[in-house]
Structure 1
Amino acid sequence: MPKSHSFITQWQLFLLAVSFLTRIPVVIRFDVTDTLLNQASRYFALVGVGLGVILATLFYCLQFVFPASLCVLLTMALSILMTGAFHEDGWADVWDGFGGGWQVSQKLTIMKDSRLGTYGAAALIIILMMKYQSLILLSEQLNIILFAIIAGQCLSRVVATSLIINMDYVSEDATSKVKPLAMHLSKVSLFVLLFSGMMLLAVALFLAVISWQSALLIIVILVLVRVVVMQWFKSQLGGYTGDCLGAAQQASELSIYLTLAAIVSSAAV
């Protein structure tokens, strides 16, 4: 693929991002290299927007037929089907590795094991239950849950992908069972990533879905989550792996739901 900033080139990078993050079938008519994958990471947040819109549309349609509990469950199921539980797998592997290993090499070995351990199973069950309960609460206000679904998919990927620019990749993970990984994030890509997230919040503010105070709180919470997970990964591994980025995405997504649930509960939206 030619090294240019043409629309066609950027569209191909976007398709590569879709192929990397989801199970949605796309046609890739070029050789995928590490360089292209690194460049495609700039569109991870936009892929999140697309996923969020699909999930929000599903929820909107289902709520005319089913109770909120079933709508949330079906929406979560579609999310897992579209992504192949890509990030959920990373979340479980991180908890298995960090909980079951003492040395870095032990943790990485456990994280690469396709079997699910007690730590990972417990962590996966807990986060899925927390997502479910949070979305049930948010379903009391249709516009809020639709925003939450889209924001959760988009902003969580902003946080997870942005970790690449501040952390070292753990080389021992080179034989990991997960897909190839974007390991470098240019300043241009970081700008595109952040701009995508800010535009989503700007649209929500323009449509009066949330207040500026709520938007600011979401940003603050995500910054804190980013700091916490980054320090956690550094203390455990000295850097990050693909599983770590998946865990960061899950933690960020849940944080968005919990933040909005707290706002709704306090009637501050």
Structure 2
Amino acid sequence: MLRREFRACLAAIGFFTRLPVPAAVGYSADLLQHATRWLPAVGLLVGGIAALVCLAALQLWQQPVAVLLAMVATLLATGAFHEDGLADTADGLGGGWDKAKILAIMKDSRVGSYGVVALWLALSGKFVLLCAVDRSLLPWALLAGHVLSRFAPLVLLATMDYARTDDQAGQTSKSRPLTARLSFGALAFAALFPLLAAWPLPWPQALAGAGLAALATLWLMAKCRRWLGGYTGDCLGAVQQVAEIAFYLGLLAHWPA
């Protein structure tokens, strides 16, 4: 049992990042479906890299430089996997007028104006927000943001259907193995990681961040359900990005007394 879970965790790292994993882990659709519950744990690894780079950079430079280097480190670690999904989703929902057209646009490898704007807003937004986080909390904010935001796509996997048909998905679709419903037991297991990552943060700020991330996730879920009748792999990436930004936004909010 433990060996199977360890292999599933390594499979999740291999699929959702560019970090090397042993070749013996192998690959199969069944293994990846089981590995999806470990996505927040992947966030723990990616967020840990960001936090360590940030801590090291803060010894030499001001906070904006540390934030920039931490963001670069996460982009290198993931290969901009989720950012690519955000751009494709923005292009599809922004330029399509029905399900077939939206899916066709999202499958196109070219990035359109909606995708460019979405990427610029996401990257610059994260930079501005993280620069505003208290210096002492910044590494913990990075860690929690990456973990919690990777729990958000699992809510779609547990509650929504895959939007593409087999013909539309194709054999090379990067999200093809993620079409099975995630069990609520697996969702509950995955929820342990955000709780662990957010523990060092002040609880009112952590709750505000989690609450805003939940609202952002529900908003994007509603758009995907309305226009696509479900999710695609690109939608999962977009949800991760939106939830991460919303978490930082909630973390910084000053609520009126």
User: How high is the TM-score relative to the length of structure 1?
Assistant: 0.88
User: What residue in structure 2 maps to residue 99 of structure 1?
Assistant: 94
State yes or no: 1:166 paired with 2:159: yes
2:13 to 15, 18, 35: 18
Tell me whether 118-127 or 214-223 shows the greater mean CA deviation. 214-223
User: What residue in structure 2 maps to residue 118 of structure 1?
Assistant: 113
8 A Cα contact 1:168 1:240, kept in partner: yes
State yes or no: 1:178 paired with 2:174: yes
Distance of 1:88 and 1:252 partners within structure 2? 12
Offset, 1:170: 1.1
Offset, 1:180: 4.2
Please list the CA deviations of residues 39-94 of structure 1 after superposition, one character each: whole Å capped at 9, or x if unmatched: 10111101101111111010000111122222111111111111010000000000
Distance of 1:162 and 1:28 partners within structure 2? 30
Runs of 5+ in structure 2 lacking a partner? none
Offset, 1:30: 4.8
User: What residue in structure 1 maps to residue 239 of structure 2?
Assistant: 248
8 A Cα contact 1:16 1:28, kept in partner: no
Q: Letter of the aligned partner of 2:158 in structure 1? A: I
Question: 1:254 aligns to what SS in structure 2?
Answer: helix
State yes or no: 1:188 paired with 2:181: no
Question: 2:24 aligns to what SS in structure 1?
Answer: coil
How large is the Cα RMSD of the aligned pairs?
A: 1.8
Offset, 1:242: 0.2
1:143 to 136, 139, 142: 136
Q: Letter of the aligned partner of 1:178 in structure 2? A: K
8 A Cα contact 2:175 2:232, kept in partner: no
| Count of aligned pairs between the two proteins | 253
Distance of 2:56 and 2:102 partners within structure 1? 43
User: 4+ residue stretches of structure 1 with deviation over 6 A?
Assistant: none
User: How high is the TM-score relative to the length of structure 2?
Assistant: 0.92
User: What residue in structure 2 maps to residue 3 of structure 1?
Assistant: none
State yes or no: 1:33 paired with 2:24: no
Runs of 5+ in structure 1 lacking a partner? 1-5
8 A Cα contact 2:84 2:234, kept in partner: yes
User: What residue in structure 2 maps to residue 49 of structure 1?
Assistant: 44
Distance of 2:155 and 2:121 partners within structure 1? 25
Change (3 A) 1:63 1:241: same
Distance of 1:147 and 1:171 partners within structure 2? 37
| % identity of equivalent residues | 36
Q: Letter of the aligned partner of 1:182 in structure 2? A: L
Q: Letter of the aligned partner of 1:71 in structure 2? A: A
User: What residue in structure 2 maps to residue 59 of structure 1?
Assistant: 54
